[in-house]
Chain A
């Protein structure tokens, strides 16, 4: 519905605090109307990058472009991107209506128009009946809605959200995630969303940018970062993964593979430098068998621990050489596999593993 959304191009953005480099040469193209998530551990520079996008912080180096215009030096007021802060940052002395009306009054909109827009926005975020309450009288989820409404009511070209749900309980978090997704579709604005929760990032975004130590490690769709991580850090950060050390990496007729405890394991064809490396496989891509499979990878292992997770079972195994492997299976499948005793084979399709370069 909105055509005001803009794209942003960060070109070689760096930020130093004294000798400490909080951001190192970050280049990132953000598409118009996209839902981009900045994901990374605490202290990785996500907030710093967001503050530079919003104009609250000045980058030490690099440029910021918007639709071909250099906006590096433009002030935060002039950029007027909507922003939802960690901890909401609502005006404590204003009630819900006044909070949401603030950006419209700044824009010198007529009283009638302000009233209409605020009422519409209150209805859209489900705050009807709470118009006259002060922020301190609202629950966490309601405060979050006010913050969203205040940031969206003036139809900003970009909405920046800094860990908006970190203070909410799991149930409410899920509901708010759905709501934010809906608001993104309704408004069509470019959303840039910071989180350190990988499942939140995977479920919400059109693309994920992964940060660590001030560096941008990978930008790709959720499926790509999950199934084709650029390096070991990304692979491990996005959820549980099995890492098998392999040697003698080389190509064969069906892909690229390496040796692990005497067996030849194969993954999809990819660039490699030979020698040793790591083969990474997600636990949910593995299954159990009582013999070595012919057209899939297989490793002999024995079960050492089982954890019941409700719908699934998490099995801890050890190979003959002592490497730990984790397999998650639907509860019934796991129960069937367990009847054959502790010694069995872990198998996975050849296209599901991927080789990670050594180091990093």
Chain B
């Protein structure tokens, strides 16, 4: 259905396509520098491509080989992966945490992005600071910061006990709650950027028009603003989900070895128990899932990322 728009444009440009013969030489001349500049462009990104191949693609192919050769050739590790209750429970937990983190951080980021884009000047500046400052602090530092707040002798529990609200410390870290909280904190900015970009591309006059047609603020939000920023929502959700799937540092620290996620499982199989074959198989599956989601991201939500809006 989107094909109709380019069609009408082509129709308008129709007459100008007929080129006089003398124009053709000019086109021919133009082709040379254009082709050359394309190669120069490749030269610029070549080191990056080479680096990616050397550091990621080749080692990953090695890992993929392990998954079908260790300890013996065959797809035995993948069969294990599909049947082993421990592995399955880790995958299940990972998806559950991913879903919760995605929902919470995208919802929070939507509200934050709204103030960031449509608030007063002071609100916008403050939001910017609140997004950017944590963004610049290392993930590791922030995880330990949360631990200092949430552990059983952490600040929160100390305060609550001192004020007499609770008798024994609450279990805030070293469980899924801590993991979700820590990851949400890290991922909110990643969701806020595409959302803010989608919101910026909403034409103010469209909202005015809705108001002029008699719509209440609530209706304008649900029927106009939210649908117009939907591409940003999809993009933000996919980004957060992909990040969460492969997250290692935050869950490892705030999960305290109890709420193991997939990335940590790979680490454990590789470094703690000599079970390289299974670790490799889990890695391959993880990369495939992430790859599929990234493809979806570029397919559906690219305009919002780049700022094109609709």
Contacts and interface: CB of A to CB of B under 8 A. Distances in A.
Interface of A: 54-56, 76-77, 80-83, 85-87, 89-93, 102-103, 106-107, 133-134, 136-137, 139, 150-151, 154
B209 A154 contact: no
B227 interface: yes
Interface in B1-47: 1-2, 4-5, 8
Given A89-B203, A92-B206, A102 B228 contact: no
Contacts of A86: 205
Interface in B199-231: 203, 205-206, 208-216, 219, 223-224, 227-228, 230
A83 B1 contact: no
Interface residues on B, range: 20 to 34
Contact of A106 (B203, B208, B213): B213
A137 B5 contact: yes
B205 A92 contact: no
A102 B4 CA distance: 24
22 contacts: A56-B211, A76-B211, A81-B212, A86-B205, A89-B206, A90-B206, A91-B209, A92-B228, A92-B310, A93-B227, A93-B228, A102-B210, A102-B213, A102-B215, A106-B213, A106-B215, A106-B216, A134-B1, A136-B310, A137-B1, A150-B213, A151-B213
B210 A87 contact: no
A83 B215 CA distance: 13
A103 B4 contact: no
Given A83-B209, A89-B209, 6 more contacts: A56-B211, A82-B213, A106-B214, A106-B215, A136-B310, A137-B8
B4 A133 contact: yes
A168 B224 CA distance: 26
Nearest to A86: B205
B206 A91 contact: yes
A154 B214 contact: yes
B213 A154 contact: yes
A159 to B, nearest CB: 11
A103 to B, nearest CB: 4
Nearest to B3: A137
B228 A87 contact: no
A89 to B, nearest CB: 4
Nearest to B204: A89
Top 10 nearest A-B pairs (CB, nearest first) are: A103-B213, A89-B205, A89-B209, A137-B4, A83-B212, A93-B227, A80-B214, A106-B214, A85-B205, A89-B206
B212 A82 contact: yes
Nearest to A107: B214
Interface in B268-300: none
Contacts of B212: 54-56, 76-77, 80-83
A85 B214 contact: no
Contacts of B230: 93
Contact of A103 (B2, B214, B224): B214
Contacts of A93: 227-228, 230, 310
Given A106-B219, A136-B310, A137-B5, A77 B214 contact: yes
A137 B215 CA distance: 25
A77 B4 contact: no
A272 B243 CA distance: 81
B205 A77 contact: no
A137 B9 CA distance: 10
A217 to B, nearest CB: 28
Interface string B147-175: 00000000000000000000000000000
Contacts of B8: 137, 139
A228 B222 CA distance: 52
A139 B7 CA distance: 11
A101 B196 CA distance: 29
- Of the listed residues A92, A107, A133, the one surrounded by the most CB atoms of chain B closer than 10 A to its CB is A92
Given A92-B228, A93-B228, A87 B205 contact: yes
Nearest to A87: B205
Interface string B43-79: 0000000000000000000000000000000000000
B310 A102 contact: no
Nearest to B230: A93
Contacts of A77: 211-212, 214-216
Contacts of B214: 77, 80, 103, 106-107, 154
A106 B215 CA distance: 6
Nearest to B309: A92
B208 A136 contact: no
Contacts of B210: 91, 102
Interface in B103-145: none
A107 B223 CA distance: 14
- Of the listed residues A56, A77, A107, A150, the one surrounded by the most CB atoms of chain B closer than 10 A to its CB is A77
A35 to B, nearest CB: 20
A82 B212 CA distance: 7
Contacts of A107: 214
A154 to B, nearest CB: 7
Nearest to A80: B214
Nearest to B216: A77
Contacts of A139: 8
B143 to A, nearest CB: 40
Contacts of B211: 56, 76-77
Contacts of A89: 203, 205-206, 208-209
A103 B210 CA distance: 8
A102 B211 CA distance: 11
A139 B10 CA distance: 12
A93 B2 CA distance: 12
A81 to B, nearest CB: 7
B226 to A, nearest CB: 10
Contacts of A136: 2, 5, 310
Nearest to B231: A93
B162 to A, nearest CB: 50
- Of the listed residues B4, B206, B224, the one surrounded by the most CB atoms of chain A closer than 10 A to its CB is B206
Contacts of B224: 91
